[in-house]
Amino acid sequence: MRKIFGAIAAVALMAALAVRAEDKSRAKGPNEDGTKPALVRIAGEGMLDSHAFQYLTELSDDVGSRVTGSPQAEKAVEWGVAKMRAMGLENVHAEKWQLWRGWARGAAQAELLTPIRRPLHVDAMGWTGSTAAGGADGEVVTVNMFDLDGEMKNMTRFSGKVALVVTRGEPNKSSIQLFAQFGDFLRAAGKAGAIAVIGGQGGGTAAGMNLTHTGILGFDADFAVPVVSMTAEDQGQLERYIARGLTPRVHFNVQNTFSSGPVESANVVGEIRGRENPEQVLVVGGHLDSWDLSEGATDNGMGSSCTLGAADAILRSGMKPRRTIRFVLFTGEEQGLDGSFAYVKQHQAEMANHLGSLILDSGQGPIRSFQLGGRDDLVETFKPFARALAEIREVNVDDKLEDGTDTLPFSMVGLPGINMDQDSPEYKYTHHSAADALEAVKPDILAQDATLMALAAYWIADRPERFASPWSAEKTVKMLVEQHEDAMLKAFGLWPKAYADIEKKDAPPN
């Protein structure tokens, strides 16, 4: 029965790619540029016989969670290399890079002692520290995320206490500035002797359903103080007590471990070499690493299995693109896009020959838009391809830059870091939580996403005209400022000195 429905879907996709009358003044799409026959064959392989859910099942159930630098992450890299070789990709290898420090999760327990006694549900945030052995008791005091300047004037009040992050009033800075400053608060809280901090990822609470959501609190950032995510239901109870004038007392026992120095990780790389211009490269990928409260199926097993499924569909179609498609499973995304930053650095000499990147990392839903990473000059070029898919699903095109995944390093060097944005309303529950398991993914949606990734990758790599070249540094700086990315990059120390020099040169005289 699944084969019948797959055949119907494939026929529909082929029909969507059929020749339609187009305004010849517009940019050429698959119907005019000669790519349609290959895309039809790829669509058939992708929709009729997708292997993407099989890949995701193996990754979720046989490998499991994959925290960068852990033995499980190393196993995932080996798995990715084996899969790429088995399907027939060329130049398959692992590109090693170093993570600044390794981290492993231990126990995280909390209990409300007064006004009533009951367990509290918590999980440690990544790259945060431990309580004393056996834990400690302390009163809960609030810290207002919206006024960290004021809170940090008297850090002694957190000594021997548990800090509960809340939001009161209006923020006195942008969300990015507050998130960056939150790291300063955590360092100060540790020095002040705080037992623990409740509130992760800038003080946001969990999305409900009694779930915690782990994560890291900056780019390559670690903290000695234990920081935990608490369920929205438990945090709400603490906040209600405090609003009534009561002072909750809690017990915390959090035990995590850090490595003594850097640890090794690797990106997994394989290619379909171009038949005419193999030196020109499109990177297609997702991140292989995950958090460890569950299997990492939606974040980002989806992206990894889509990447492998897209490669497999193109290979089985027998089609060979003009330019090289390089499939990359990045690691270190969850610690600050470390793997993709490492890729751009390691391939710096080749960047002039890169066409961009195509990344999927927005949960478990169907694709709803191609975000071209700040490259407004490419929107009209890309729209005819998106229109060719319209009878399957409406897919929009815009120039938005997504800074929360592996697109960012490519956009920062002036290339289109294309994010395949998804409609994933349930992602707020599965994101970094214990619900991030295979059951959250629908095989038909995964197959469609992998097929659209394959089609977009092949179209970009095979169209007669080169899709994109890197912008100049000056133009890239202008784009990053217009996309409001400069504040975040500067806050986390990611703004290149060369870009600062350009800004200084272009600044009006005093």
Give the chain's end-to-end CA distance (angstroms, integer).
72
Shared-domain flag, residues 284 and 248: no
**Which pTM value belongs to this model?**
0.94
Shared-domain flag, residues 139 and 39: no
What string of pLDDT tens digits covers the 510 residues of the chain? Answer: 333 333 334 434 444 444 333 343 458 999 999 999 999 999 999 999 999 999 999 999 999 999 999 999 999 999 999 999 999 999 999 999 999 999 999 999 999 999 999 999 999 999 999 999 999 999 999 999 999 999 999 999 999 999 999 999 999 999 999 999 999 999 999 999 999 999 977 545 568 999 999 999 999 999 999 999 999 999 999 999 999 999 999 999 999 999 999 999 999 999 999 999 999 999 999 999 999 999 999 999 999 999 999 999 999 999 999 999 999 999 999 999 999 999 999 999 999 999 999 999 999 999 999 999 999 999 999 999 999 998 788 999 999 999 999 999 999 999 999 999 999 999 999 999 999 999 999 999 999 999 999 999 999 999 999 999 999 999 999 999 999 999 999 999 999 999 999 999 988 776
Shared-domain flag, residues 116 and 231: yes
| d(C-alpha 372, C-alpha 357), whole Å | 9
Task: Establish if 393 belongs to a structural domain.
Answer: yes
Q: Which of 340, 342, 248 is nearest to 286 (CA)?
A: 340
Q: Of 258, 280, 297, which closes a domain?
A: 258
Identify how many contiguous H helices and E strands the chain contains and give both numbers.
17, 18
| d(C-alpha 332, C-alpha 290), whole Å | 9
Shared-domain flag, residues 21 and 117: no
pLDDT at position 205: 54
Q: Of 202, 229, 258, which closes a domain?
A: 258
| d(C-alpha 114, C-alpha 137), whole Å | 11
Task: Establish if 283 belongs to a structural domain.
Answer: yes
Shared-domain flag, residues 112 and 212: yes
pLDDT at position 258: 98
Shared-domain flag, residues 27 and 84: yes
Answer for the pair 326, 308: CB distance below 8 angstroms, yes or no: no
User: What is the extent of the structural domain holding 333?
Assistant: 2-100+262-462
Task: Establish if 125 belongs to a structural domain.
Answer: yes
Residue carrying structure tokens 């000695």: 224
Shared-domain flag, residues 272 and 414: yes
Shared-domain flag, residues 338 and 414: yes
Task: Establish if 469 belongs to a structural domain.
Answer: no
Tokens read off for 509: 């005289």
CA distances from 343 to 208, 265, 338, 470 (A): 36, 12, 9, 16
CA distances from 448 to 44, 49, 219, 302 (A): 11, 11, 33, 12
What element of type H or E holds 80?
helix 71-87
Answer for the pair 56, 329: CB distance below 8 angstroms, yes or no: no
Does a cis peptide bond (omega within 30 degrees of 0) precede residue 248?
no
Shared-domain flag, residues 10 and 77: yes
pLDDT at position 15: 41
Residues 6+ apart with CB under 8 A from 208: 231, 232, 233, 429
CATH number for 144: 3.50.30.30
CATH number for 277: 3.40.630.10
Give the pairing of strands 396-398 and 367-371. parallel
What size, in residues, is the chain?
510
Task: Establish if 186 belongs to a structural domain.
Answer: yes
Task: Establish if 467 belongs to a structural domain.
Answer: no
Number of separate domains in the chain? 3
What are the residue ranges of helices labelled H in 132-204? 148-151, 175-192
Shared-domain flag, residues 396 and 368: yes
CA 170 to chain centre: 29
| d(C-alpha 1, C-alpha 215), whole Å | 40
pLDDT at position 16: 45
Task: Establish if 468 belongs to a structural domain.
Answer: no
3-class SS of residue 489: helix
Shared-domain flag, residues 234 and 347: no
Answer for the pair 66, 288: CB distance below 8 angstroms, yes or no: yes
CA distances from 148 to 142, 242, 429 (A): 11, 19, 28
Shared-domain flag, residues 182 and 323: no
Task: Establish if 403 belongs to a structural domain.
Answer: yes
